[in-house]
Each structure stands twice: as C-alpha cells, then as structure tokens.
Amino acid sequence: MNEKKYLLQFEPKAVEVPLTSRVISEFGLEVNILRAEITESGGQMIVTLIGPPGALGRGLRYLEDNNVRISELRPLVRKDDELCTDCGMCVSICPAKAYSISAPEWKVVFAEDKCIACGLCRDVCPPGAIFLSVI
Ligand code: SF4
Ligand code: SF4
C-alpha cells in the first residue's frame, strides 16, 4: 500500500462531478480529506490517498483527466540548531541514518537528502528542536 499527500486543485468543471467518491468506488482508494475549500467556481483540497501503487496511479490519472490539477506534498524535516543540545537521541533513533556526529566538534549534523520523513526524531527530541512540515 502507498500513502501520499496531495494538493488537488479543482477547475469549475471538476466540481460538477462527484470525483472523490468515484475515486473511492472505482479505484478502491482510501481518501482522507485534511482540508477542503470548494465552491461552485472551483477550489482545492489537501488529501491523503492510500492504495496499491497501480490503483493510486490510475486514480490520479482519472482526476487529471477530469480537470483536477495535482501536486504531491512532501513532508519536510528541519532541525533548529539554536535549540539543539547535541544530545544524540535523534542519531540513535533515525532509521535512515540522516543524523551524524561531526568530529572534533561533536555536533549533530542533519542530512536532509537521507531523511524519509518518518517523524521519529521529532518525537524523541528533548528540547523540541525538530520540526516536520509539508511542502
Ligand atoms: S534529539 Fe534534538 S537536541 Fe538531541 S541532537 Fe537531535 S536535534 Fe539535537
Ligand atoms: S524524520 Fe525519520 S528519517 Fe527523517 S531524520 Fe527524523 S528519524 Fe530520520
């Protein structure tokens, strides 16, 4: 199963059709609506779509074919170096080895390109120096 977040932007034509319920019934996707602003003249939604990779791709194509613009939203992790005390908790818990300890300063360094955005480091960081947002 894949789970991804998307921004769906509906053109006016797209709001005349019950696209969300069709994505659920025709492609077997789970749709979790996180935010929605829809009027008769269009609108946008932030959703999590969950389903097998093939079904997810077909569901997204169906939406695009029906006047919905789709942008994938990726979580973004940021470490505030002012708040960080270099305790090393994130280094030991990160499954992607995105943190390392630099020598000889013994500073904890974050490598964003390795991060898989699981959020574990944010949950264990004692001073709350790690932030997870979505772009
Ligand atoms: S857990 Fe938090 S305070 Fe500790 S090293 Fe990591 S970012 Fe810094
Ligand atoms: S969010 Fe997960 S993968 Fe990314 S740095 Fe934190 S623990 Fe590692």
Asked if pLDDT for residue 24 goes beyond 80, the answer is: yes
Same domain for 44 and 103: no
- What pTM, to 2 d.p., does this model score? 0.58
Residue 124 pLDDT class (50, 70, 90 cuts)? very high
pLDDT at 135: 61
CA–CA separation, 79 vs 5, rounded Å? Answer: 22
Highest mean pLDDT among 7-11, 99-103, 111-115: 99-103
pLDDT tens string 69-93: 999 887 789 999 999 999 999 999 9
Same domain for 46 and 101: no
Give the residue from 23, 56, 73 where a domain finishes. Answer: 73
Same domain for 69 and 79: no
Residue 68 pLDDT class (50, 70, 90 cuts)? very high
Ligand 1 centroid vs 107 CA: distance in angstroms?
10
Same domain for 96 and 85: yes
Burial (Cβ within 10 Å: 0-12, 13-18, ≥19) of residue 46: middle
Same domain for 34 and 57: yes
Element (H, E) at 22: helix 19-27
User: 51 lies in which domain range?
Assistant: 2-73
Which atom, in ligand 2's list, is nearest to the CA of 75? 1
Torsion from C-alpha of 48, 54, 60, 61, nearest 10 degrees: 180
Nearest C-alpha neighbor of 75 from the set 134, 24, 120, 126? 134
Domain count, the chain: 2
Q: In the chain, pLDDT over 70 holds for what percent of residues?
A: 99
Residue owning the nearest CA to atom 8 of ligand 1: 84
CB-CB contact of 89 with 124 (8 Å): yes
Residue 48 pLDDT class (50, 70, 90 cuts)? confident
CATH number where 126 lies: 3.30.70.20
Cβ-based neighbour number of residue 48 at 10 Å: 14
Same domain for 116 and 92: yes
pLDDT at 73: 83
Nearest C-alpha neighbor of 83 from the set 116, 102, 110? 110
> Which ligand is located closest to the Cα atom of residue 118?
2
The residue to mutate among 79, 80, 101, 125, having the most atoms of ligand 1 within 8 angstroms of its beta carbon, is 125
CATH number where 54 lies: 3.30.70.260
